[in-house]
Structure 1
Amino acid sequence: MLHSVSGGCYGNKKEMQKCIEEIESLEDSLGDIYAARLGMTKEEVKATFFDGEDHWLTADDALRLGFIDGIYDAEPVPAGSTPEQIYTLFNNRLTEPQNKSKMNLEEIRKHPSFANCKSEEEVIAQAQAYAREAGRVAGLENENNDLKTRLKEFEDKAAADEEAARKALLDAAEADGRINAEMRPIYENILKSNPEEGEKALKALAPKRKVMEDLKVDPGDESPWSKRMKEIKNKLNKQ
């Protein structure tokens, strides 16, 4: 049976107001507890059950609403039992329900994973299957961690290879004069964002011959200027 919180006090209006506040606080606490069990809001609980009336529920009603977890089968109290015997009998029923395993199976059947189980044997078999699956979780987690480590190694190796390839392209372009030190960061960013387009852009640049390389003369050889002047003189003499 459920009813509003009841109480009483004696004193002045301040003391009576404090008593009312305590009653309201208790109803709030009970409302939170009932709401969690019944799937209702605290306000709905208080409006339904704390309205000043007594609310009697059968065992089936209490189970349907969610107030209780199960219905216990119990033998009638033997006639002539003393108060102590009655107390002991009911105390044992509360701590050691006669159909505890059956009640637990009924609770398990409420879970969607066991909705299709039609007997206790099927519930137990399904639970055992889940237990075997749970036993494999640790192995799968270790395997997953190992794969993540290997993937990280591959990713690091690929990043290092890409960096080396970019450096080789930029070094070659800077060496033959296609780019200079100021232009290098620009083409490096292009290669990072789009390697294929960056490589095409570098190849499209014309190499620049370096004057010092053109004028370099090994000991005993003629300079490019002397060779060109000789060619001109020979051409004039033939005319």
Structure 2
Amino acid sequence: MKIISKSGTKVKARLSGDISVWGRNNAISFSNQIDELAEEYEELEIQVHCYGGDVMEGIAMYNVLKHADIKVTAVVIGLAASMGTIFLLACDKVYMYKNTYQMIHEALTGAYGNSTTLKKVAETLDKISGILYQHYKDKMPENKHAEIEKFMDGEDHWLTAQECKELGIIDGVIDKDGIEVPTAMLQAKSQEKESFKQYFSASLEHNGESSPKEPKIKSTMKEVLIAKILAKNFVGVSATSADELGEELLAFAEASSKERDELKAKLDQLELDQVERQKTEVKNYLDNAEKTGAIQNSQRAFYENLCKDAEGFESVKNILGSATPTPQRSTITGQMREEEGKGESVDKSKWTLQDYQDKAPSELENMAKTDWEKFSNLYEKEYGVKPEK
């Protein structure tokens, strides 16, 4: 334990690290320091940041503080964990900064041996845990004893300063300036947190029959509006009496509701306009894709379905933008032209792929099956790329 300041009959010290028979925080050196300070001073404040440690050393420190001839106040400045929480219980007063923690759990150890040995170790641990939990109960009000027993489950339990205060194992919570936070304020914050929790739980479970009640947190919405109106924060508000204030408040609420409805209507119309614009854009795009041979008419419904939202439309544009045109299937007009050409000697040596599509589509289809090289050359001349076989 390190002495950090002395003033008149008061002295401040800091205890940090582990409690260990071999470390600086051992029972013998601690006992000697307390005795020496008790001879010279009347009050001792110990700032604590302790990770816990040896049970027997901690119990000895507890007993030294319990019977010391000096008034001892402990202040947790970081963490008081495990055995580090026990010697606090012997102090006359215990405080925690509101951003600090305590960690409570049952006694633990390591063991080696057969089942008989391990059973004895377990029995000893149970006895030690019973003693330690009795120390908590001695500090706590009787109506909280059942709460501490819940912590005898083998788990680590991390408690905030507020939770420690509610449990009764500390005397108060202090702020950054070392000033104690009033209990009423701590309770108000706790109720505020619980109120919000209940409100949002009710909202999730709400079935539409009746709206959940809003939590009363510090000020109601009406009180806030009244305060703002009195401060003339709203344009056009100039209430000077209670009656006028009520009328102005009602008028403001009605105006706000009307503005909200108008804004919603505008947003709805903008959304409809956007949908119509996209429909037109999709139609024009697919018309052009069909015209250039990027898609066939039979595929159009498929692509229209993909383009129902903006993301799908972008995907279609990316796909078709890198796709090669698809040869048109035989049409009735093409078949008629092909029939008209039958029986006549036609020079097709200079025909392009488009000529075959327009004048002899079935011949083009047969060419793709029987003379792939010729079909491939025509396709490449037309579109600049080789077709996939």
**TM exceeds 0.5?**
no
Structure label with greater radius of gyration = 1
- Structure showing greater relative contact order (alpha-carbon pairs closer than 8 Å, 6 or more residues apart): 1
TM-score, normalized by length of structure 1? 0.34
Higher strand share: 2
Higher helix share: 1
